[in-house]
Amino acid sequence: MSSYYGRPVLKEPVWQPEIPWYFFTGGLAGASGVLSLVARLSGNETLARRSLYVGAAADLVSPALLVSDLGRPERFLNMFRVFKVTSPMSVGSWILGVSGGASTTAALLEATGRLKPVKYAAELVSALSGAPLATYTATLVSDTAIPVWHEARKELPFLFGSSAVASAGAAAAIVVPPAEAGPARRLALGGVVVENVLFEMMEKRLGMLGEPYTKGEAGKYKKLAMGCTVGGAALLGTLGRRSRVAAAAGGALVLAGEAALRWSVFKAGFQSARDPKYTVDPQRERVSRQSDGRSRTQPGSSDASV
Amino acid sequence: MAGLAEPTGTPAAWPDTYGDDAKERVGFFTDTSVCIGCKACEVACKEWNLVPEDGLVWTGESYDNTSELGANTWRHVAFIEQNEPLHVEPGGEEQVDALRWLMSSDVCKHCTHAACLDVCPTGSLFRTEYGTVVVQQDICNGCGYCVPACPFGVLDKRHIPRHSADPPAEILGLQLGKKEDGRVWKCTLCYDRLKGGHEPACAKACPTDSIQFGPLDELRERADKRLEKLQAENWNGARLYGRDPDDGVGGFGAFFLLLDEPEVYGLPPDPVVTTRDLPEMWATAAVAAGAIVLGVVAGFLGGSR
């Protein structure tokens, strides 16, 4: 027994289903802001306008999810009491505040056709804050004692980032006619390829700590994510180039897959906290590596247990 | 991020921010070799701090029906029954029918570099003038970030009704407040008692001085002497846990003398404050954000079709 009556050493997170959904909507919002601005600059107005609306919608849903998850939702404004660079949640709240404010402002001005210069400024802010909005959530989970999150800190921002790009591309491919949605389709395809390769690489590199990503609910969500994203991307890249219906179906599949990917990472964290071996074994290994060559001064057996 | 998890053995920005109000850093030294498992510390803590009941169950795990620290348990006495001798003579014969009963009163470690405090987005968790780590209950909004951040699993959200005559606000079917207290709670090292010049309730109640309260430097000296004595008497497995300011959390404000590996007591063998990797993690997130922009630009290279 590597723990006290097999009990967990860590507490499982207390976060509710709102949080993985927010990882999804936050990523969608952030990458849509970037997509919209780049489309605007490239002269693809339809793609620019509709991605802006998608991003603003996701930016409206995101804070609602976060407030709903709080133990004291009426105190959500306390998130803006301070700005703490040591707290990814504090930094993220400010990023979401800025990004959400900018994207909804831009969307409103776009819809009403007023204040063009303000709209362009808002779009720029939305794009600049959109990219970090899509990746900070990875830093947020990595900055915990949860083994499969902290040890995956090198890959998670890229995994979340590529998932966000795929989400924005897929959503745009649904709402934009295929003739103008070429870049959106390519982003969905590219994002799906990168995220699936990254996920496999991450799992391999983590070794024993990669297990929770393949087991239980996390494993099921991972399989679902892979199936939906690859299937959806294939549909988008073939029939979706001409058929509006096929593009919508492919885009929806990719979006479902991206949500499943966030759920997989979320659930893996709980699973690794629940089983003390994922906490104790790597730490024990680290200790024995450090004490190698140093003679043990303490008497007694080191592996004694009940 | 200056001062973040520097291996100085002193909490970041403490005690400078307190100026003349700064006090000597205090803590606990829990010497488990004299713990008799009476649980007076658990009771005294509950009574003084008005900590609610947290389930009355029989676990069948020796004399421990408390199981773990949490929102409603700020002291937890662990009981471990072992077929191990209490003393081991160097070169002596192995005892076949040896038996020992380990008991240890666990508590929040009040880390020198506290992950819970670092990640708290509201500033509810703070470093007191005594160098301890405390949740300000009027500020905590129950975001729950500190719960998985703690490498010891100390903090948790409190799950009890706020008041039976106080139904949760309902908007569009969402039960705001979820009928619960909803905030995070943990040991305060009896901040209120310290302010009044008293020692924490658990230490006051401990009949064997297993729980010792005092200035941290003094406790460390005392612990070193105690360990020396136990080792000279060939106590099986005696070691200090959390005393070293060079460890992954900069040393504990509440440290222990254990008689076996930490994991046997449900404690992590090599805890680290994960915020020490934050500069690297922020850099990775920034690079990934840049990659998103480049990726999106690349998506437009082939034209609109």
Mutate: best of B140, B292, B300, partner A, most A CBs <10 A? B292
Q: Residue B170: its pLDDT value, please?
A: 59
Q: Residue B5: its pLDDT value, please?
A: 47
Q: Residue B173: its pLDDT value, please?
A: 52
Q: Residue B93: its pLDDT value, please?
A: 73
Domain A14-289 has CATH 1.10.3720.10: no
For residue A276, whether the previous peptide bond is cis, meaning omega lies within 30 degrees of 0, is no
| Closest residue of chain A to B161, computed from CA coordinates | A71
Taking contacts as CB-CB distances below 8 angstroms, the residues of chain B near A302 are 237, 261
Tell me: the pLDDT tens digits for B16-45? 889 999 999 999 999 999 999 999 999 999
Taking contacts as CB-CB distances below 8 angstroms, the residues of chain B near A287 are 269-270
Return the amino acid letter for A21.
W
List the strands of the sheet with B239-241, edge to edge.
Answer: B211-215, B26-31, B254-258, B239-241
Residue by residue, pLDDT tens for chain A (306 residues) are 468 999 999 999 999 999 999 999 999 999 999 999 999 999 999 999 999 999 999 999 999 999 999 988 889 999 999 999 999 999 999 999 999 999 999 999 999 988 999 999 999 999 999 999 999 999 999 999 999 999 999 999 999 999 999 999 999 999 999 999 999 999 999 999 999 999 999 999 999 999 999 999 999 999 999 999 999 999 999 998 999 999 999 999 999 999 999 999 999 999 999 999 999 999 999 999 887 655 444 444 444 333
| Closest residue of chain B to A47, computed from CA coordinates | B304
The interface predicted TM-score (ipTM) is 0.92
Residue with tokens 């500020």: B139
Residue A149 and residue A10: Cα distance in Å, rounded?
13
Q: Do B292 and A143 touch (CB under 8 A)?
A: no
Q: Residue B57: its pLDDT value, please?
A: 86
Q: Residue B55: its pLDDT value, please?
A: 76
Residues of chain B scoring pLDDT < 70: 1-8, 160-179, 305
The H or E element containing residue B2 is none
For chain B, count helices (H), then strands (E): 7, 12
pTM for the whole structure: 0.91
Mutate: best of A1, A2, A5, A65, partner B, most B CBs <10 A? A5
Of A38, A143, A144, the CB nearest to B300: A38
Residue A139 and residue A156: Cα distance in Å, rounded?
8
Of A76, A179, A298, the CB nearest to B239: A298
From A209, A211, A146, A149, select the one nearest A10 (Cα to Cα): A146
Q: Residue B4: its pLDDT value, please?
A: 52
Q: Do A71 and B180 touch (CB under 8 A)?
A: yes
The percentage of chain B sitting over the pLDDT mark of 70, rounded to a whole number, equals 90
Taking contacts as CB-CB distances below 8 angstroms, the residues of chain B near A4 are 78, 80, 263-266
Residue B236 and residue B241: Cα distance in Å, rounded?
15
* Tokens coding B238: 């005696």
Strand partners, B77: B105
Q: How many residues does chain A have?
A: 306
Tell me: the pLDDT tens digits for A223-253? 999 999 999 999 999 998 999 999 999 999 9
* Tokens coding B170: 């309902």
How far separated are the first and last CA of chain A, in Å rounded? Answer: 8
Taking contacts as CB-CB distances below 8 angstroms, the residues of chain A near B296 are 31, 34-35, 38, 165, 168, 183, 187
Residue with tokens 């998670």: A156
Give the domains, in start order, of chain B with CATH numbers: 16-273 (3.30.70.20)
| Closest residue of chain B to A44, computed from CA coordinates | B304
Query: Are B132 and B14 in contact, with CB atoms under 8 Å apart?
Result: no
Angstroms from B121 CA to nearest CA on chain A: 4
* Tokens coding A256: 């479902």
Mutate: best of A83, A144, A153, partner B, most B CBs <10 A? A144
Residue B171 and residue B13: Cα distance in Å, rounded?
42
* Tokens coding A210: 């990669």
Mean pLDDT (chain B) is: 90
Cα distances (angstroms) measured from residue A223 to each of A19, A170, A258, B18, B64: 20, 19, 12, 53, 41
Query: Are A279 and A9 in contact, with CB atoms under 8 Å apart?
Result: yes
Q: Residue A131: its pLDDT value, please?
A: 97
Residue B105 and residue B202: Cα distance in Å, rounded?
10
Of B141, B285, B291, the CB nearest to A72: B141
Residue A304 and residue B101: Cα distance in Å, rounded?
12
* Tokens coding B83: 């077929």
* Tokens coding A84: 């703490």
**Pairing outcome for strands B254-258 and B26-31:** parallel
Tell me: the pLDDT tens digits for B104-150? 999 999 999 999 999 999 999 999 999 999 999 999 999 999 999 99
From A39, A55, A37, select the one nearest A47 (Cα to Cα): A39
Q: Which residues make Cβ contacts (< 8 Å) with residue B126, sequence separation at least 6?
A: B117, B133, B134, B136
Q: Where are the domains of chain A?
A: 14-289
Residue B172 neighbours by CB distance under 10 Å: 6
Query: Are B131 and B117 in contact, with CB atoms under 8 Å apart?
Result: no
Mutate: best of B84, B99, B143, partner A, most A CBs <10 A? B143
Angstroms from A89 CA to nearest CA on chain B: 6
Q: Residue A295: its pLDDT value, please?
A: 45
Helix (H, G, I), strand (E, B) or coil at A197: helix
* Tokens coding B288: 């990934």
Q: Do A84 and B148 touch (CB under 8 A)?
A: no
Taking contacts as CB-CB distances below 8 angstroms, the residues of chain A near B68 are 7
